[in-house]
Structure 1
Amino acid sequence: MNINANMGTGGARPHYMNQGSYNQPNQANQQPMPGQQIPPGNYDPNAFMNPNAIFQQPIVQNMAMQYTQQMASTGATMMKKEMEKYVPISRLQYYFAVDTKYALTKLGLLFFPFTHSDWSIKFEQDTPVQPRYEINAPDLYIPTMAYVTYVVVAGLVLGMQNRFSPEQFGIQSSSALAWCLLELAVYSCTLYIGNIQTSLRTLDLLAYSGYKFVGIIVSTLMSIVGGTAAYYATLGYCSLALAFYLMRVLRSQVLPVTTHQTSYYGETDSGYGNKRRLYFLLFVAGAQPVLSWWLSFHLIRYTAPAPVLP
């Protein structure tokens, strides 16, 4: 048998030499051409040789996105917990849960509380109903907006009296805020020293004491129209209405529901304990007219200096 004859040019080649995949390179192992993009979902074994191409892999991008979302969620949760230690954000959300209808109705109640009859605060599963659904509930939206408006109105009145300066905004806002914090501290100390057990919270007291800015604004604006007489007449009525409102709305939260309760020291609250609660209630209601006058009288009682004759 002639072996060379079979290996000649015209002879048949072995079947393993006729397979195209034997001499041709594997397409999966081919290097991509410059500028050529790998279709999504295809894995490039040589991509990790290029540091810039690592982050272009779909697997790496998905892992990075999931890790970033997890870190952001964890960071937000930790930040919320840390802020809750100093600022009760969840409680503040309750006091700002208002709408336009509530704001208008509450302002009408502050000016005309004599026409209101139901002063009870509704509860839902031992939690007070949000202010937008309960007109008697305290809120911080109206006191906050009234405080800002008070500073603006004070600047307006000072400007009409030629006494305005840019520093007056800081003086008016800081002094009013300082008096509010001092008032809140006095109320808290009174409750603690007098051992008066109530359902009032610190933010409740801040809300109730902030309603006086509504009367201050109206009284100051009336002084522009009618002078000192209009100021004192309006301030007197607004103070009387606010005192009546506080007496009625705080009654159910300060005075005990039952006639006999045991205090912290074991004594019965039916006698002396009730008197302390009543005195505190009168103290809160009576302090509002005095503070309203103190925060606004310097805007009214002003006499322009006499002109200097040459």
Structure 2
Amino acid sequence: MQRGNYPPNTAASPPLHHPVPQHPVPIPVMHSPPPLQASSAYGSTYAPTPAMGHPAYGLLNDPTAQMAFQVGGRATEVAGQYVEQNLGKYLQISALKHYFNVSNGYVLQKLGLVLFPWRHRPWSRSGSQRTGASGQMEGYFLPPREDINSPDMYIPVMAFVTYILLSTLLYGLAGRFNPEQLGYTASFAFTIVILEIIIIKIGCYLLNINNDSQLLDLVAYSGYKFVGIIVTLTITTLGSKWLEYLVFGYTFNANAFFLLRSLKYVLLPDTTADNPRSTTYAVNRTQRNRRTQFLFLYSYLVQLIFMWSLSSGFSFRSAAA
């Protein structure tokens, strides 16, 4: 057979292809989280910066919006300063911390003092001195946890709430519970406290009694009566009228004696250690006698009317029967 030049066998050999260059798939670049913005007068503590194109991006960069934010923040700051400087001196919000500075030992000793005040000595409040804002030494009363004779708000508030819950419980035990009774009892007790504060404030005004801590002290002292009322209402569950009258008579006299001794530094201020913050001159004998009479009437007559109204004004005796 004659050999010659033949074309390659295309059926047996696949066609050769030139490699086509392939471009790699782009890998997305990872960025760090957007920086956190510090707190401002109109924003939260930390807030992410909106990305470009976000609806809020244009708002934050708008000069009008920025001006509005600045005005709003300034208005908030001015309002806070107004409340602190003007309303604060009437509400005495910052002074409430002093009246709630109590301890467990103080609460137990104070409850014993309110219920058994007969042999307690002395009754004068303890004070100390500190350097004031003007650089001069000024006197101040010690907080309740450091002075058993200091009035507090913790016991009166807790006794007030306990009185409302206990009175509602007595109605429930008698099968006469009504959801409206809870609000009625709270409103009546709160009205009694307000009337008592009004009476003693009018007396202080007529007798020219001035004390910088007077209002909150009077609110605190007006709430101690609920301790004796709670004891009296607890006795009503025993069903003995004579025992109830006896307990009421004791708790009333204990509260009156406690107020008679404790309110001396408020209604009879002087420049002695009984009132280190007082700058009042010593009153004359006639004025002092009038204040003593008012203190006696408030401690006994006014307290008798209010304590009797709170302990029997809701007919607990008939409710428990």
Q: Same fold (TM over 0.5)?
A: yes
CA contact (8 A) 1:136 1:249 kept: yes
- Structure 2 residue identity aligned to 1:275: N
Worse overlay, 109-118 or 79-88: 79-88
- Structure 2 residue identity aligned to 1:201: Q
User: Over residues 25-73 of structure 1, what are the superposed CA-to-partner deviations in whole Å (9 max), with x where a residue is unaligned?
Assistant: xxxxxxxx7742346899xxxx999345x98xxxxxxxxxxx99xx699
CA distance in 2 between partners of 1:95 and 1:160 (Å): 35
What is the CA-CA distance between 1:104 and the residue it aligns to? 0.8
CA distance in 2 between partners of 1:303 and 1:142 (Å): 27
Secondary structure at 1:113's aligned position in 2?
coil
Equivalent residue for 1:237, pick from 250, 267, 286: 250
Instruction: Let me know the Cα RMSD of the aligned residues.
Output: 3.6
Q: Does residue 187 in structure 1 map to residue 180 in structure 2?
A: no
CA distance in 2 between partners of 1:40 and 1:304 (Å): 68
CA contact (8 A) 1:102 1:132 kept: yes
CA contact (8 A) 1:158 1:299 kept: no
CA distance in 2 between partners of 1:116 and 1:304 (Å): 36
- Structure 2 residue identity aligned to 1:270: N
Match of 2:310 in 1: 295
Match of 2:52 in 1: 50
5 Å-filtered alignment, 1:70-219, equals 74=77, 77-78=80-81, 81=84, 84=88, 87-125=91-129, 126-198=139-211, 201-219=214-232
Q: Judging changes above 3 Å, is the alpha-carbon distance between structure 1 residues 161 and 79 closer, same or farther for their aligned structure 2 residues?
A: farther
Match of 1:37 in 2: 30
CA distance in 2 between partners of 1:108 and 1:271 (Å): 34
CA distance in 2 between partners of 1:168 and 1:34 (Å): 72
- Structure 2 residue identity aligned to 1:89: I
Secondary structure at 2:95's aligned position in 1?
helix
CA contact (8 A) 2:214 2:266 kept: no
CA contact (8 A) 1:157 1:299 kept: no
CA contact (8 A) 2:173 2:320 kept: no
Unaligned runs of 5+ in 1: 1-32, 56-66, 260-266, 306-310
CA distance in 2 between partners of 1:149 and 1:198 (Å): 30
Equivalent residue for 2:289, pick from 275, 282, 286: 275
CA distance in 1 between partners of 2:34 and 2:173 (Å): 73
CA distance in 1 between partners of 2:91 and 2:282 (Å): 36
CA distance in 1 between partners of 2:299 and 2:307 (Å): 12
Bigger helix share: 1
CA distance in 1 between partners of 2:169 and 2:51 (Å): 70
The one of the two structures with greater contact order (alpha-carbon pairs below 8 A, sep at least 6) is 2
- Structure 2 residue identity aligned to 1:255: L
Identical positions, percent: 36
TM-score, with length taken from structure 1: 0.70
Secondary structure at 2:148's aligned position in 1?
coil
CA distance in 2 between partners of 1:112 and 1:89 (Å): 32
CA distance in 1 between partners of 2:168 and 2:144 (Å): 31
User: Over residues 208-263 of structure 1, what are the superposed CA-to-partner deviations in whole Å (9 max), with x where a residue is unaligned?
Assistant: 1110000001100011124222211111111111111111122233225479xxxx
CA contact (8 A) 2:99 2:153 kept: yes
CA contact (8 A) 1:196 1:276 kept: no
Bigger strand share: 2
